[in-house]
Structure 1
């Protein structure tokens, strides 16, 4: 089966799955993922692992679009008004999730280093899961704005903590490597990622100031997403961080930041349908029996950590009770970013030998399907969707 036919199947069947999910009063995202799962290696195997791998460029485009959109939520006005509150909530959510996952998986028999890495990975939140639901149900209000900003902050926290943790573990487990040198190298990588993102964002802002034709601007945005992702892959930098920085700079340099969001909106639906259906096809249910109790521990720890951590930290602020109760469940979706980081963790720490990805994927199977449903309920509970 050629690549064009597979692309057609993914798009059309994915769209049908989303429509059926909507009929069943479920988020379309859940439908895309379930249809992908049914079409993938776990069931029909119409979309094979080789096909999934050959279509990775779509993942880069979708994750880049999401990162720019999430970065665009990091406007200075938001931080001036609610910065302290949002950072406190994100800290509590991240810390609670990290502690719960690391502690439970360690108690279940994993080595400490292994549990620490899983704790860090559990901190990520799926931008695609959150952004797709908010757009589908046209969520608006202070809770939606806070969730969008928290997704950006929490993923940024995770990328930084992940770099520090893996650098330290590399230094501890290798006699040839100095932990201090690895941390310095990690800081250089973060600095380079920020610098590239600033250059890209500056150029896109310049195009907006020049009032570039909307269609040409859209082409430039796509070009810079691929450019950022390509440079990141070549030099081992975080493409997510580069694109988040690009979005953040644009939104802070120009008043007409809706020009960027309008450009992304024109192409996002087919890209997201493709990306999320493909994400479902990636899920391999055969790993679940192998992971067993540890996989369940990861899921329970992440869910419990998010609920408890966000609630406790929000209680230290003036956030209302209704919002406080729904922060944790709104931040449960988890997908693309955590898979990418888990693969990178195993490249840096080969002694983990595929187990990290296996455990993370067991969580992704759960949180990719259940997370959007929980987020939709949180938006209903806070009255920001009908």
Structure 2
């Protein structure tokens, strides 16, 4: 029989390869869920390990050191996942919620992230790392994994002040992280540029343009939300918001995280039926996060893994020290019911996951000469923080 009559071609087209790879990534997430439920290992860490396995096959077995998984498709998938996370985080920043959390949460959270970021940045700079690496990792250190902290607190059944304080902090912690990262990238670009005026204008546009874009998308979205009937129209509305925010921020070269967070905050504060859009995004968010975690692990350049070991260890030690000292300062500044708050409460805010890796990817794009080091250090430290983080939360609650 002639080969022309065969129903299957021996040649795998790029489109078919991309679809197969996406299907395998989602299938691996099912396996990760099963393993996580039986071993209590964080499923995020398992997904990143799957991505590292992809990197090993691609870079060491196939010898494609410069190739990126999915070629041009990986970047938009990662961008969509980050915009979804930032939009949902913005939805947590309602005036009502900030009023009910009270000043105690603001004082402790700002003390922890302020001392932590300062110690990481100054410490890495003192150890001789480039300014771009030190400042980027300092901004990335602010982010926390709210899911890991919340899950551990709920499992413990603790309802004391320290447990309620932790839940309140992690609800807004990544919001602070996105703000700190956006400002740090803009200021760092200005500082490192030879043309001060042009760089300052670009930095101002990156932050100011993000505010304008978030407002331009968020205000109409707040008016529209709730006027569509629940179901498919609301889902289309939610997808349109995310795609517009991701596409326009990339085209206008403004901070996608800041724009999405502001849009989410406007929708949450101005719309009476704001939960509909957020619920629809939550329903479709996980598959994109699966792609994000696996592709983040697959993006690690294994050739520079050894070079990233020292900065990764320094970052882990400095971040742990910063969290501890920040917690001590926060408890002292609060001066309210200090007997009920442990001095090491900052260590319970150690877990770090998706937002941190997203920031690392963005920083790697901004400073490609340090990209491999930044990404390897953050991915490696994320695995460590996800493993030891829940143990530290339980220690603080005890």
Look up the match of 2:283: 266
The corresponding residue for 1:130 is: 146
1:55 and 2:74 matched: yes
What SS is found at the alignment partner of 2:40? coil
Number of residue equivalences: 368
Deviation at 1:34, TM superposition (A): 1.8
- SS in structure 1 at match of 2:128: coil
Q: For the structure 1 residues 197 and 375, does the alpha-carbon distance in structure 2 shift closer, same or farther, using more than 3 Å as the test?
A: farther
- The match for 2:182 is 159
d(CA) in 1 for partners of 2:314, 2:68 = 30
Map 1:34-49 → 2, pairs under 5 A: 34-41=49-56, 49=67
Q: Shift in Å at residue 215 of structure 1?
A: 1.8
Q: 1:203, CA displacement in angstroms?
A: 2.2
* TM-score normalised by the chain length of structure 1: 0.83
Q: What SS does the aligned partner of 2:56 have?
A: coil
**Partner of residue 251, structure 2:** 234
1:315 aligns with 2:332: yes
| 3-state SS of 2:344 partner | helix
Q: CA deviation at 1:280?
A: 2.3
Q: How does 1:8-157 map to 2 (within 5 A)?
A: 8-41=23-56, 49-53=67-71, 54-82=73-101, 84-111=103-130, 113-114=131-132, 116-125=134-143, 129-131=145-147, 134=150, 143-157=166-180
Structure 1 Cα separation of the partners of residues 184 and 254 of structure 2: 15
CA separation of 1:141 and 1:15: change in aligned 2, threshold 3 A: farther
1:131 deviates by 4.2
**What's the offset of the Cα at 1:364?**
1.6
Residues of 2 paired with 1:271 and 1:207: CA distance? 25
Q: Distance in 1 between matches of 2:224 and 2:62?
A: 43
The answer to whether the 8 A contact 2:300-2:372 is kept is: no
- The answer as to whether partners of 2:364 and 2:372 remain within 8 angstroms in 1 is no
Aligned-pair distance for 1:59? 0.9
Q: What residue is the counterpart of 2:3 in the other structure? A: none
Q: 1:3 aligns with which of 6, 13, 18?
A: 18
Unaligned stretches of 5+ residues in structure 2: 1-11, 156-162
1:336 matched to 2:352? The reply is no
Alpha-carbon offset, residue 312 of structure 1: 1.9
Shift of 1:270: 2.0
- Counterpart of 1:213 in structure 2 is 230
Equivalent-residue separation in structure 1 for 2:105 and 2:294 (angstroms): 32
Taking the aligned partners of 1:135 and 1:47, their CA distance within structure 2 comes to 40
Q: What CA distance in whole angstroms lies between the structure 1 residues aligned with 2:342 and 2:234?
A: 37
| C-alpha distance after superposition, 1:147-166 (max 9, x if no partner) | 12121123212211331233
C-alpha distance 327-69 of structure 1, shift in aligned 2 (>3 A): farther
- The Cα offsets for residues 49-90 of structure 1, whole Å up to 9 and x where unpaired, read as 422443222111111111111111111123234464444334
1:193 aligned to which of 210, 231, 242 = 210
Q: Which of 235, 239, 242 in structure 2 is aligned with 1:222?
A: 239
Deviations 1:219-272 (A, max 9, x none): 221122121111111121011111101111111012333212321222122222
Partner of 1:351: none
Moved more, 78-87 or 190-199: 78-87
Given that 1:63 and 1:240 are in contact with CA atoms closer than 8 Å, whether structure 2 keeps it comes out as: yes
Contact 2:51–2:295, Cα closer than 8 Å, also in 1: yes
In 2, are the aligned partners of 1:197 and 1:242 still within 8 Å (CA)? yes
Which residue in 1 is equivalent to 2:307? 290
Shift of 1:216: 1.5
Structure 1 unaligned blocks of 5 or more: 348-353
Contact 2:90 2:262 in 1 (8 A): yes
Distance in 2 (CA, whole Å) between partners of 1:328 and 1:59 is 29
CA contact (8 A) 2:326 2:346 kept: no
Distance 1:150-1:201 versus aligned 2 partners, 3 A rule: same
1:358 aligns with 2:372: yes
Q: Is the 8 A contact 2:121 2:134 kept in 1?
A: yes
Contact 2:189 2:203 (C-alpha < 8 Å) held by counterparts: no
